[in-house]
Amino acid sequence: MVNPVGLGCMGFSHAYGEPTEKNAAIKMIQKTYDMGYNFFDTAECYTGINADGTTSYNEELVGEALRSVRDKVFIATKMGITFTESGSVLDSSPDKIRKSAEGSLKRLGTDYIDLYYQHRIDPKVEPEVVAETMGQLIKEGKIRSWGISETGEDYLRRANSVCPVTAIQNRYSMIARDYEPLFPVLEELDVALVAFSPLGNGFLSGAYNVNDKFAEGVDFRSHMPQYTKEGFEAGKPLFDYLAQLGKEKNATPGQLSLAWMIRKKPWIVPIPGSRKEHRLQENFGSCDVALTAEEIAKIDNLLDTMNLPVYGRR
């Protein structure tokens, strides 16, 4: 059983500037286990270049950090996308799935993966083919369950009919609600939603303002529209309300953002990421923030009135 909030480990190696130094990253991931985290998310494509020119492999950091508690944690990783200088390459062929799984097992230093995702849908491969291959890996004991990232209803249903899908991992937050129409399908099929970017890539933490700048080319936030002047202006009504509610609940905007989805549906598990200890503690503290159905509805109604530009589906 995973706890209500998991840890997205990507930022230690990928997409948010220079990778964290290896030993520091391992120690921080271990600290999160001590905080109460027991669900850790990574991917084969989460890599970055260290200051000394070597490659930081996120799976290696996660595997080494959790080796001594492997039987007490739930590790999810992903396959199916490779980043190149000319762009991203999608490949979910059976051979690629198997090759990627073996590589992830090796980098993680484990003999099984708890949850193995198809990272992005490959239009060249039918969902039934992907599901059949994942089912074979489950029978072989190499993975214990499987999921799909950024999927819609038709693909999910077709895949699930061949091998039951445990979870989907889609972008979901207060400012990215495109997938809410999929909720009845998830309940029907008994599929969990692992919400990535649950804080809008940090926007909903309240830690940034229009004057903050991010490194071009190595930090995804440098081209996300919510971090523009227009984005902050559009988000002001939400931040004002979260500040008011936060005083009543003794909670930060980030904690309220996570509590909003945790309390909305019991099968939603957000996986916020951070490299700062106080942020990691703060995020996990959202497990203890109680919101009523009326408060959740009030937030939803406010969000319905907003027109906030956001970095959306990928």
For residue 240, what are its two tokens? Answer: 């004002």
57 a catalytic residue: no
**What is the identity of the amino acid at 179?**
Y
186-216: b (≥16 Cβ within 10 Å) or e:
beeeebbbbbbbbbbbbbbbbbbeeeeebee
Strand partners, 84: 87
The dihedrals phi and psi of 213, each to the nearest 5 degrees, come to -120, 150
Which ranges constitute the DSSP H helices of the chain? 22-35, 58-66, 94-108, 127-139, 153-160, 183-189, 229-249, 253-264, 277-285, 293-304
Interatomic CA distance for residues 197 and 195, integer angstroms? 7
For residue 92, what are its two tokens? Answer: 């979910």
Interatomic CA distance for residues 298 and 293, integer angstroms? 9
Indicate the DSSP class of residue 21: P
Distance of CA 131 to the CA centre of its chain: 21
Interatomic CA distance for residues 246 and 242, integer angstroms? 6
Largest CA distance in the chain: 54
For residue 214, what are its two tokens? Answer: 């991010």
Choice among 16, 37, 46, 311 that is catalytic = 46
Interatomic CA distance for residues 211 and 196, integer angstroms? 25
Annotated active-site positions, please? 46
